[in-house]
Amino acid sequence: MINDKLLHPESIVVVGASNNTGKPGGKIVKNLLDHHFKGDLFAINPHESQVQGIPSFEDVGELPDVDLAILAIPAKHCLKTITQLVEENNTKAFIIISAGFGETDEAGKELEKKIVEVIEKHDACLIGPNCIGVMTPSHASVFTTPIPELTPEGCDFISGSGATAVFIIESGIPKGLRFANVFSVGNSAQTGVEDVLAYLNENYEDGVSPRVKLLYIENINNPDKLLLHATSLIRKGCKIAAIKAGSSSAGSRAASSHTGALTSSDAAVEALFRKAGIVRCYGREELTTVASVFMCKELEGDKLAIITHAGGPGVMLTDALESGGLKIPEIEDVPAKSALLEKLFPGSSVENPIDFLATGTAEQLGHIIDACENDFDVDGMAVIFGSPGLFPIGDVYDLLSEKMKVCKKPIYPILPSIINVKEDVAHFLARGNVNFPDEVLLGRALTKVMNTAKPSANNVFTDGIKTDEIRKIIDTTENGYQPPEIIHKLFAVAGIPMVKELVATSESEAVLAALNIGFPVVMKVVGPVHKTEVGGVVLNVRNVNEVRKEFHHLFQIEGTEGVLIAQMASGTELFLGASYEPDFGHVVLCGMGGIYVEVLKDVSSGLAPLSHAEAHSMIEGLKSYRILQGFRKQKGVNIDKFADILVRLSTLLRFATEIKELDINPLLGNENEILAVDARIRIEK
C-alpha cells in the first residue's frame, strides 16, 4: 500500500550507500543530493563515517527514526534489516533495489513473502524488490538516469520493469514530456501497478493531481482492481495510456473451438482496456507520443487543419490521420481564404494542408492560426515547421508557444529539426510545451486517442432477458457441450434470435421437422464438434425425398447422435464467441464469419457485461466494418441489431458463469434481421 512516507518522506536512509557512484547504493545517494532532497539523509555503510558528505552509520541500530529506507544490499540481509527498521526506527516505507528474490527461485519467493508479512504487520509500504526505485517531486530515490523534471504538471508513470521505465523516460524527455511521479514496482511483492493506480485514484484532487497516467504492465494480477480505478480516474477527467507486454504468445491456448483458439489473455487485456477507456499502446515511442497528445488541449471533433511549410511531411501526416478516421477537410470559406491568401507570399496555398512555403514567417504563421481558430471549420491544428539550418527560427517557435496557450482549439507542434535548430527547440520545450518530431507517429497516436471509447456504463442490460430462467436452465444441465434444445432455450430467454431448428433421430421425425419448418432446410449432424470437417452439413434441401436421402447419409457419419433440421437463412456471415478467462471473466468476441474469423482473425473483444456503446465500439473497430455497413452496392447488415445481440449474449454470460466456451458461427444478417444459425456451448460447473 502506498503511503505519505513513501511520497513525501522527511528522512531517508540508504542501506548499502557508497562513495562509488558506479554502484547502485552510491548512485542513489548522488541522485538524492543532486535533486535537492530537503529532509534528513542518512547512509548505512560499516566501512565509512561519511558517504558523499552525509553521515554514515555502521548499523541501522544507530539510526534515529527514519521515514523511508532504500535497500541496496544482498537479498539475504534484507529481512533482518527491515525487521529492525520497522520495530526500532518506526520506518513506514521501503524500496528494495536488490535482486535475488521471487524472480530467481522458490526460496526467493519465500523470502519476499516473509518480508511482506513483517511490513504489513507494521502498516508499512514496500516498493520492489528488484526495481530501480521511486521518483516524486520530493525525492529522486533511483539509481538510474536520466532524472526527468518532476512537477505536478507532468504525468504519473507506473512501470513493472525498471529498465523499461528508464527507456520510456528517455523517449519522453526529448518530446518535452514531463513527469510527476515515477513508480518502478519490480516484483510487486506487496505493491503492484494496480495498487499504485488505486492510491492515485483514491487520493485524486481535481486541479491538483496529475491528469495523465502512463502504465507499463507485464502482469495484471488484479484485473477488477485495475478496471475499477482506471475507470474512476478517467471519469474524473484523467487520461490513461498503457503498454501490456507479453500477452499474445503467453496467453494463447489450444481449445476445441474457434473461440478457444482465438481468445487469449491478450484478447482479455484488449477487452479490459476497452471497457476502462485506456488507450492501448505497443511500444515506447507510441506511449510517449500518446502521452504528449494528452498534454495538449483536447480535440473536440474530427476535423484537423495541417499547417506546413514543407509538402512531404504534410502529405504523410494527412495519410496517417485519414487512415485512422480523422478528416482533413477542404477549406470552403472563400472570402476567409482570399483574405488569408493576401497576407501570405505568392505561391502559398490555403487549401488543406495549408502550405505557406519554406520562406514563411512567424507573422504569416500567426495569421494562418488565427484563421483556423476563428474562421475555418476545423477542430484543431497541426503545425509543421522545421529549418534547413540557414537562419534562426526562434521567433516562429515563440509565436507558436503563445498561440498554443491562447487558442481554444488544440495545436499540435511538429518541429522536426531537432539538430539544426536544437537550441530553439529546447527553448520551446523549456516553456512547458511538447513536440512531435515525427508527424506519422503523431497521426497514429492522435487517431488512437480519438478512437478509444470512454469508459462503459456499469449497468447490466436486462431488458427482455429472463435472468431467473437462465439460472434454472444452467442448474439442470450436465457438463460438456450442450444439445441444440438447451442452446435454443438459453438463447430464447436471452432474446437472441435463432433460426427454427428441430432434432430428428429417425427418418419420419426428420420429414415431419422439415414440413414443420418449411422448405428449403439445412440438415446437420448432431454429435461431431466440427460438422463441416466430416461432411456433416447439407444445404438447400428442397423436398421430402431429399430429406429422407440426406438423413440416411448423415446418420452414417461416425459419432452422429441425431440430425438437426434447420431453417435455411441467408445473408452476410457474422461471428460471435466467448471464452471464460480466469480473473478476467468472459471475453466476448465479434467479427464477420467465414474466412474473416478463420483466416484473417478480424475480431474485436469486449469484457462481459457489455453496454450498447461498447458493442458498437467493438463492431466499429473491425477491419471489415465498412463491409458490414454496405459496400459497392452490396447491402450491409443491421448494425444496431448486431450490437443488441452482442449485449444480450454478454448478459447471458454474466448470469451463466458456468459457460466456459460459446460459439455462434455463423449468424446470418441483412438490413432487417440477424439470426443465429449454428451455435455451440460448453458448460463446466
- Per-residue three-class SS string for 496-560: CCECCEEEECCHHHHHHHHHHHCCCEEEEEECCCCCHHHCCEEEEECCHHHHHHHHHHHHCCCCC
Identify the pLDDT of residue 360.
87
Q: What is the mean pLDDT of the chain?
A: 93
> What is the C-alpha to C-alpha distance for residues 200 and 226, in angstroms, rounded to an integer?
12
CB-based contact 297:410 (threshold 8 Å): yes
| Residue 598 pLDDT greater than 80, yes or no | no
The share of the chain scoring above pLDDT 70, in percent, equals 97
> 533 falls in which pLDDT band (50, 70, 90)?
confident
pLDDT at 614: 94
* Whole-number Å distance between alpha carbons of 447 and 281: 12
Rg (CA), the chain: 31
Q: State pLDDT tens for residues 423-481.
A: 999 999 999 999 999 999 999 999 999 999 999 877 899 999 999 999 999 999 999 99
Whether the predicted pLDDT of 502 surpasses 80:
yes
Alpha carbon of 147 to those of 138, 139, 429: distances in Å?
A: 13, 11, 16
Q: Is 241 in contact with 281 (CB distance < 8 Å)? A: yes
pLDDT bin (cut points 50, 70, 90) of residue 247 is: low
Model pLDDT, residue 263: 52
Q: What is the pTM of this model?
A: 0.89
Domains and CATH numbers, the chain: 4-132 (3.40.50.720), 148-294 (3.40.50.261), 311-433 (3.40.50.261)
What does the angle CA 523 – CA 524 – CA 525 come to, to the nearest 5 degrees?
135
What would the pLDDT profile of 487-498 be if each residue is shown by its tens digit? 999 999 999 999
> For residue range 315-360, what is the model confidence (pLDDT) as tens digits?
999 999 999 999 999 998 889 999 999 999 999 999 999 999 888 8
Q: What is the pLDDT of residues 272-314, one digit of tens each?
A: 999 999 999 999 999 999 999 999 999 999 999 999 998 899 9
pLDDT digits over 635-682, tens only?
Answer: 899 999 999 999 999 999 999 999 999 999 889 999 999 999 889 999
